[in-house]
Amino acid sequence: MIYVIVHEIIPEIHSRAFANEATAGLTAGLVVMMFLDVTLG
């Protein structure tokens, strides 16, 4: 999953406007996903 995000989604986001906001959103989503995995797992 992380490979797909790094290889496919992030380069596509940086080719468009609002790259910093989109990267911050992806990072926040990854942090939330990891938190839920640790908490509920």
Within 13 Å, how many C-alpha atoms sit on residue 34's CB side?
A: 8
For the cut 90, the answer to whether the pLDDT of residue 40 exceeds it is: yes
pLDDT band at 37 (very low <50, low <70, confident <90, very high): very high
In angstroms, the CA 1 to CA 16 distance is: 22
- Tell me what pLDDT residue 23 has: 81
CA triple 16-22-24, angle to 5 deg: 145
**Residue position matching structure tokens 């999953």:** 1
Q: How far is CA 30 from the centre of its chain?
A: 5
pLDDT band at 39 (very low <50, low <70, confident <90, very high): very high
